[in-house]
Structures are given as C-alpha cells and as structure tokens.
Structure 1
Amino acid sequence: MVADIGGSSLEDATRRMTKFMMVPELQRQYNVTGRMGKLCFKDLRLFEVFYGAPKNNAITQNVNRKDVEMALGKWFTGARDRGGERAARALREKRTSTQTP
C-alpha cells in the first residue's frame, strides 16, 4: 500500500511515493498543471493516491490539496535531472561549449 511508504514530511513522502510509482521517463512528461506542453498530473486518479496516502500518516495527516500540489510541483521541477539525465545534459553542454569559438 502506498501509504505505508511513509515519510518524515510531506515533501519526503512525496519523494518516496513518486520514486516508487513513476519511472523518470514518465515523470518528465508531467507537471501539476499541464502547462508548457506537459501533461496535467492533478487531473489523474493517481493524484488522488498522492493526496490520500499522506492522510494515513500522523505527521502529514492535515495536508490539503494545495500542499500536495506544491510538493508535487517541486518534485516535477527536478524530473528532468533524474535517471542519468543531469549527467547527460552536462556532457552535451560541455561538448557544445568546447565547439564554439
């Protein structure tokens, strides 16, 4: 059960649940609102799982939808760097910068 993943804060629980439930390739396709050409995560049933699971944790039981949206927003912001993409992007940028005169 997803609620058993736990966490010491909403941000920690969000990080742990998302890491468990979504591969990096899928994370990069979404953001909370669906802006900037991405898919909208808060319209998915999966959002309801992320909203309901922290309610079973004594530390995070008083969260509201906005709190969960903000925690997920922070998580999705870093999605482009996960799964080895940060190193690959740094290597591409290094190659580009050494090729320009």
Structure 2
Amino acid sequence: MIKKEEMPLCDVATTVQLVGSKWKTLIIRDLITGPKRNSELKRSLSGISQKVLTESLNSMIRDGLVERVDFQKVPPHVEYQLTTLGETFLPVIEAMRQWGQFYKEQIG
C-alpha cells in the first residue's frame, strides 16, 4: 500500500495514481460482479496483454484494492476479488457509467 507521505497532496491526483489507467478501472468494473479468474479478466478486457493485466493486478493488490485468493488446488486455481476498500470505489464507477451514457446521448 502507498504510504501516506508518498501520496500526492491533491486528492484527485491520489485517485488517479491508484486507478488512473483504463485497465485498472475496467478491472474494478469487472470485479464488481464477483471474483474472477485471470483468464476471465483477460477475455473481458479486449486488447490487454497478459503482462499489463498481471502488473495491474499486482499493483492493485499492493494498494489494497484487490485481493488474490489461491485455492491451493492442482491444477492451480486463483481468483481475484475486490477488497472492502476496493468496493468503496463502486460509486465512482457508477458515476462514470452514468456520465458516459449522458455524453453519448449529448453527441448522438
């Protein structure tokens, strides 16, 4: 997790630092409905490379937004899910969805 003294002074900049990439925001969107396996996320996120998906998930785990659940099975079974802290981002995602819909209506 980012230490408080390492965070930007601006609260908006802090949010952008944590979830500012399009992939991180879309990963959160996909995890809203529940835990997902790596392959499910990769399929849903058209155009993301495995490297970027792994880096994004690891970053979000470090930041406390996502957790990795290892079921200790053979073959390996790992899922990713939002943490309680990550779930607090859901109203932001919903506001982004609503604004995107509004924008499409305005230009269409």
| TM superposition score normalised by structure 2 | 0.34
Higher RCO (C-alpha 8 Å, min separation 6):
1
**Largest Rg, 1 or 2:** 1
More strand by percentage? 2
